[in-house]
Homo-oligomer: A and B are copies of this chain.
């Protein structure tokens, strides 16, 4: 580790918000030194509780996360929030407005908020989110809240890296939202019915129960259903209690480590895939890639054979 990185890490762990912002940007943008930084930070990580919160657009996630963060602050716990918006692949920043509002709201340095949006990367959003969570974790934040819009595979990948996953639903969602729910029902450790003062809250609860009765979890945990009205702060302490209860359950059953091992199996393969992508790009080179793409587009060359040939050349020995 260079002296520079060591000094950086000391500042970071002292709680300096500007240094934290710089470290996150370095990791997020894959700027010079990002990999060295993560290597140096990793041994300091693993202490924070990472909570993922997801739900359909308009479910009131930001407001709920806002209240949850305040509650943890009252308990003197420091909080890092990562707000991920995978629905903005090119333009990004759609969620930024909310976040700026929230930043103004909290002058408290014990809450750090960071917005992220896809940048047309090859499915790298979950990976980057995980790395940013590692930075927040290593910087000494007690709680890391990852908030994302739950509509597709990206979001499932993002919240899956959390220790605890909260799925937020709202009454009055149409049949299409039923479809959306199908994907995220299975990753919920806790359900929240937000805007529960609205008509239809009972129906959503019945639907969740019906789905639960169809598919029992392997770990024996039955995800509780918490009703909230986030705009008024109602039900937030009940949500925090449910989170604490699941946390305790994870500990007694030694499930926390098991879950972490499972997550790391998947993350390792994903990290390896990204590294391989780098190898593949290097191997092809820009000029070569353009030439080969023309030959394929003109149907003079078959891409399946080509890829097999190149990949065949990159097999190597050695063991780890």
The interface size of chain A toward B, counting residues with CB under 8 Å, comes to 93
Supply 12 A–B pairs (Cβ within 8 Å), ascending by A.
A58-B174, A90-B183, A122-B273, A257-B298, A260-B297, A268-B293, A269-B280, A269-B289, A272-B284, A276-B279, A283-B315, A292-B320
The distance in angstroms between the C-alpha atoms of A58 and B178, with both chains bound, is: 11
Confirm or deny: A294 has a beta carbon within 8 angstroms of a beta carbon on chain B. yes
Chain B residues contacting A308 (CB-CB under 8 Å) are 35, 275
Known contacts A270-B122, A284-B320; A265/B289 CB under 8 A: yes
Q: Which 10 A-B pairs have the closest CB atoms?
A: A57-B176, A275-B311, A276-B276, A152-B152, A272-B280, A123-B123, A264-B293, A260-B297, A273-B277, A89-B183
The distance in angstroms between the C-alpha atoms of A232 and B315, with both chains bound, is: 57
Q: Please indicate which of the listed interface residues A175, A186, A272, A292 has the most CB atoms of chain B within 10 Å of its own CB.
A: A272
Confirm or deny: A313 has a beta carbon within 8 angstroms of a beta carbon on chain B. yes
The count of identical subunits is: 2
Distance of A95 from chain B, by nearest CB (Å): 8
The distance in angstroms between the C-alpha atoms of A144 and B272, with both chains bound, is: 34
A302 touches B264 (CB 8 A): no
Known contacts A176-B58, A270-B122, A272-B311; A87/B182 CB under 8 A: yes
> CB-CB contacts of A70-106 with B at 8 A, as 1s and 0s?
0000000000000001111111001100000000000
A283 touches B273 (CB 8 A): no
In-complex Cβ contact of A276 among B57, B306, B314 (8 A) = B314
Interfacial residues of chain A within 268-320, with CB under 8 A of chain B in the complex: 268-284, 288-290, 292-294, 296-299, 302-311, 313-320
B311 touches A320 (CB 8 A): no
The distance in angstroms between the C-alpha atoms of A271 and B314, with both chains bound, is: 14
Task: Choose, from A2-10, A12-20, A153-161, A216-224, the stretch at the interface.
Answer: A153-161
B304 touches A179 (CB 8 A): no
Task: Choose, from A37-45, A191-199, A237-245, the stretch at the interface.
Answer: A37-45
The distance in angstroms between the C-alpha atoms of A43 and B299, with both chains bound, is: 6
Chain B residues contacting A200 (CB-CB under 8 Å) are none
Chain B residues contacting A35 (CB-CB under 8 Å) are 304, 308
Q: Please indicate which of the listed interface residues A174, A267, A289, A311 has the most CB atoms of chain B within 10 Å of its own CB.
A: A311
Chain B residues contacting A129 (CB-CB under 8 Å) are none
Chain B residues contacting A279 (CB-CB under 8 Å) are 276, 311, 314-315
Q: Please indicate which of the listed interface residues A273, A294, A317 has the most CB atoms of chain B within 10 Å of its own CB.
A: A273
Chain B residues contacting A87 (CB-CB under 8 Å) are 151-152, 179-180, 182-183
